[in-house]
Amino acid sequence: MAPSSDPLRLAGESFASRLLVGSAGYPNQQVLLDALETSGAEIVTVSIRRMRLDGGRESLAELLGSRWRLLPNTAGCATVRDAVLTAELAREALGTSWIKLEIIGDRETLYPDVEQLLAATETLVREGFVVLPYCNDDLVTCLKLADRGAAAVMPLGSPIGSGGGIANPSAIERIAARSSVPVILDAGIGTASDAALAMELGCAAVLTNTAIAKAGNPPLMARAMRAAVEAGRAAHLAGRIPKRNHAEPSSPQLGLVGA
């Protein structure tokens, strides 16, 4: 986990891990549990439309809720009304006011509907929710979401589930530099190097699901993601050297034999 001196701070709470993990698409529950344990993550996203909220053997709430902070999401919602209703259901059933807000505007690309996302964020914040909206990699949208009270912004790296990595690193870096709230890279992570890059660009955290769940060995990939996030964060704090178009020797020429 990240050092206790460098916690992730979200909505007034601190978390040692800067890796958030999804719970969908795993081969079985044991693989899910093994991967979550290996990841070191403290926050796990769950889709309300998939969950059984009435308890029972298959309930994700019972399976995970005692060990991880559950972050319900509004996956599949396409309107403000549906997203708000789903958030209210999650709060009632799970006892949490935290919500990962997703409002999809296009079923092919799964890109967010910015207009409805902004409206839903404002509504949910007014109703006392801690809102973490999934959004596109647009600086203006992220700034507007923060202005409307979002606790963090979650721009996509590339389309959901694509494994395409970060398609526009300069946009993510710009958002991370300008945002007044934490930036959590969401969607498109394919492997550990993508997660490390997100952190090097200045993101406060990374959320990944498919890259772990669909890997050949999910627990091993979860371990790789954990290490990548930690390494990327350390590299960001350390500060990389400038990129140059010419070579520069790392050792001085003074004292060379024959000089």
| Cα–Cα distance for residue pair 54/52, rounded to 1 Å | 6
- Classified as helix, coil or strand, 11 is coil
Inter-helix orientation angle 114-126/139-147, to 10°: 20
| Cα–Cα distance for residue pair 127/84, rounded to 1 Å | 10
Q: Which of 16, 91, 101, 20 is closest to 61 using CA atoms?
A: 91
Query: What is the DSSP pairing of strand 8-10 with strand 13-15?
Result: antiparallel
| Active-site pick, 100, 144, 214, 243 | 100
| Structural tokens at position 241 | 């050297």
- Classified as helix, coil or strand, 29 is helix
Residue type (1 letter), 48: I
Is 243 a residue of the active site?
no
Query: What is the DSSP pairing of strand 130-135 with strand 154-155?
Result: parallel
| Structural tokens at position 156 | 């996509």
**Other residues' Cβ atoms within 10 Å of the Cβ of residue 48:** 20
Query: What is the DSSP pairing of strand 19-22 with strand 13-15?
Result: unpaired
- As annotated, the active-site residues are 100
